[in-house]
Amino acid sequence: PLNPTPADRFTFGLWTVGNVGRDPFGEPTRQPISAPYIVRKLAELGASGINLHDNDLVPLGATAAERDTIVSDLQAALAETGLKVPMATTNLFGDPAFKDGAFTSADRRVRAYALQKTMRSMDLGAELGAQTYVFWGGREGTEVDAGGKLMDALAWFRESLNFLADYSEAQGYGYRFALEPKPNEPRADIFLPTVGSALGFIPTLDKPDLFGVNPEFAHETMAGLSFPHALAQALDAGKLFHVDLNDQKMGRFDQDLRFGAENIKSAFFTVMLLEEGGYTGPLHFDAHALRTEDEAGVWAFARGCMRTYLILKDKVAQFRADAEITAALEAYRVEDTELAALSRFSPENAEALKNREFDREALGRRGPGLEALDQMLIELLMGVR
Ligand code: 3MF
Ligand code: MG
Ligand code: MG
Ligand code: MG
C-alpha cells in the first residue's frame, strides 16, 4: 500500500525532478534530463502526471517546427505511459525582460509581452490537456518602493488576470486559475505574499469564480506562517484549486525540501486536510533533490515524497481509528444545545444571552487535555502506538 499508483493522483513539475542543482553560489551539479525521460521514470515510480512551465519544455527562442517536434515527443511519452498534464504555468521569471516584474512591470511593453507569452503558454497547456493554470508571480515585487507602484502594481496585476480569464473563455479552454503566493525570493517583497493575501485579492477580479489558490508548504513557512492553517482557509473558501507540497525550515532560504523531510507534524495535518477537506485535485510535489545528489538521488527524492504522503495517509487513518484519541477529541469539545440555540441571532436570544450567568472561574479552570492528545499523536507518528 505504500507503493504509489496513478489512483493516488501524485504529480511532479518537470522543473522539480529536472532541477539541475544550481544555486546562487554554485553551478549545476547534475545533467539536464529530457521531458520524455522524466515522464517514463515517473510512470515507473507510480506518479499520475507532470506539470510544466512553457520553457521547461520549449526553450525560449525555439522555432515553430522545433516546438512541434518537442511537443509531439512529449505526447508520445504521455500516450505510452498514460501520464497526464493536469496543470500548466508560465515562466515569467527567468528572462531578464521580467527582472522588474511581468504583469506588474512599470513598463507597459513588458506587461503586454507577459500577456503574449502567457497566452502562448495557455495554448500549449490546453493542447496537453491541462485544466488548471497557475500564476506564481516570482518577479512580481520590489526591492525598493521608491518607484511608487504599490497601488498600481495591484491594478496592473488585476488587469492582466482579467484579460487572461477572458482569453481562456474566448478560446473555450475552460481553465481554472490558481494564484500561488510567496513572501519573497527572488524579490525582496513579492506582491500577494500569503494565501490570505491572494484570497483577499480574488474577489476584486472580474470573474472571481475562475480563480483560486495554489498554496505551497515552503512559501507559507518562509513567511513564518503555518501551512495547515493556510490550507484550511483555502478549503473553507472553496478556493483550493491546486497544491504545491514540499518542506522547508522556517527562517531559511527557499529550500524546496522533499515532502515531510522537516516538519513531520505539519505534514501530517497537511495530509489530513487534503484527505478529509474535500480536495480532489492533483497532489503536486514542487520540490527538488538536494544539490548534493546524483540522478539516483533524484528518483530517491521523488519516491520519498510519495511514500511519505502515503505513510502519513495511513497515520491519519490510524489516528481516526484510535479509540483513546477519539475519546480525547470528544472530551475536548463541549456542546450545549440550549446555548447553541441562543447563539442564533434574534433580538430575544441576544437579550437572553446578555442576561445569562456564566461560571467564568470554572471555564478558566477546565483543562482541555491537549498535552495528552498531542503526545498520543507524537507516539503514533513515531510508530510506538
Ligand atoms: C517557486 C515556485 C514556482 C512555482 C511555479 C508554478 C518554480 O518557489 O514555487 O516554481 O511553483 O512557477 O507553479
Ligand atoms: Mg516554491
Ligand atoms: Mg522554490
Ligand atoms: Mg511552487
Q: What is the pLDDT of residue 1?
A: 76
Say if strands 283-285 and 49-53 run parallel, antiparallel, or are unpaired: unpaired
The residue whose CB lies within 8 Å of the most ligand 1 atoms, and thus the one to mutate among 23, 56, 118, 136, is 136
Cβ atoms 42, 78 nearer than 8 A? no
Judging by beta carbons within 10 Å of its beta carbon (0-12, 13-18, 19+), is residue 299 exposed, middle or buried? middle
What radius of gyration do the chain's Cα atoms show?
Answer: 23
Question: Considering only CA atoms, which of 178, 67, 189 is closest in space to residue 128?
Answer: 67
| Phi, psi (degrees; rounded to nearest 5) at 296 | -60, -35
Catalytic residues: 53, 56
In the block, cell 493575501 appears at 197
Is 166 part of any known ligand binding site?
Answer: no
| The pTM of the whole model exceeds 0.95 | yes
Say if residue 152 carries a ligand binding annotation. Answer: no
CA of 79 to the centre of ligand 4 (A): 26
Element at 179 (helix H, strand E): strand 176-180
Find the ligand nearest to 102 CA.
1
Mean pLDDT per 10-residue interval, the chain, length 385 residues: 95 98 97 98 98 98 97 98 98 98 98 98 98 97 98 98 99 98 98 98 98 99 98 98 98 97 98 98 98 98 98 98 98 97 98 98 97 98 97
ipTM at complex level: 0.93
Contact between 199 and 180 (Cβ < 8 Å) = no
- 283 in Cβ contact with 245 (< 8 Å): yes
Burial of 327 (0-12, 13-18, 19+ CB in 10 A): exposed
| Cβ-contact 105, 29 below 8 angstroms | no
